[in-house]
Structure 1
Amino acid sequence: MVRITLILLFFFSCSISYSQTKINWLTLKDVSFIDKWSDEVDAYFYFPTFGPSVKDLEGKEVVIRGYVLPIDPENNFYILSQNPFASCFFCGSAGPESIIELGLKNKKDKFDMDQVVTMKGILRLNKEDIYHCNYILDKAEVVKK
């Protein structure tokens, strides 16, 4: 009986540790954008149409590695980027799909500019709120620095 209990315990602990999905920046490129007018701010903005592979990730725990950009550290506003700040995420071929807004689980976490980290959290897709990124990682926490 003890042996069966240990085997079941081992099985469930392994399945829990693999419940997150490891993604990369290429995965997040399954999105297209259209310019759409916003009366609220009297300007055009990119509004996303998410592809099927990205839609499948919504609400799931994902793991992704990137560069931290401290946008407003005093208010705990950080972005995870495919590229370092010096490469400017909207310059060249990068676009809004190359950044993720971090909703940090631990509000005391602090990061340096271009600090490379692996984060995990719940992926939320944002297609309407112009004041937030298209990708948001809720309950985000560092897996590996």
Structure 2
Amino acid sequence: MKKNLLSLVIISIFLSSFSLIQSQEDIWLTLQKIDWEDKFDKELEMKVPFPIFSEEVRELGGKEISIKGFVLPIDTDDENSMLISYYPFANCFFCGGAGPETIMEVFMDVPREVNDETVTFKGILKLNGDATGMIYQLKDAVEVETID
């Protein structure tokens, strides 16, 4: 009986750690679970789409996450930020039916050279429901891994 209980505990630990690893790999798929609602924006004086974040996405907001993405060679307004994408640049957010939910602006303390590479960042996920800016922003980001 004790042997069966021990086996069950070991299997449970393995499965729970596997699900944590899996959730890191599938974070982009979770972030794509949004809907859109057109609302009138007074500043822009027109209707614009606003994101409606799913419960799964809202649960990630304000939490530290690690996310791997393709660096997009696009200038941003902030010299300490860059854009990463779920897709390589050739298939980025305006190509092949992808949308703004497949990109993220990454804010770092120090400027970083933008190259065509895959990078994993860790930081605090901010959900941006404003009419301007990327809907996903990674604040206080640090680079974890680079793959050329």
Please say whether Structure 1 and Structure 2 have the same fold, judged by a TM-score greater than 0.5: yes
- Pairing partner for 1:25 from 28, 49, 53: 28
Matched residue count: 123
Task: Kindly indicate which of the two structures has a greater share of residues assigned to helix.
Answer: 2
The AA in structure 1 aligned to 2:142 is E
Q: TM-score, normalised by structure 1?
A: 0.75
- Pairing partner for 1:126 from 115, 125, 128: 128
Q: TM-score, normalised by structure 2?
A: 0.73
Gaps of 5+ in 2: 1-19
- The residue number in structure 2 matching 1:35 is 38
- The residue number in structure 2 matching 1:107 is 110
- The residue number in structure 2 matching 1:94 is 98
Measured on the aligned residues, the alpha-carbon RMSD in Å equals 2.1
- The alpha-carbon deviation at position 96 of structure 1 amounts to 1.1
On the 8 A contact 1:71/1:77 being kept in 2, the answer is no
**Equivalent residues in 2 for 1:30-109, closer than 5 Å:** 30-72=33-75, 75-104=79-108, 106-109=109-112
Runs of 4+ in 1 over 3 A off after TM superposition: none
Secondary structure class of the residue paired with 1:118: strand
Q: Distance in 2 between matches of 1:81 and 1:43?
A: 28
Gaps of 5+ in 1: 1-17
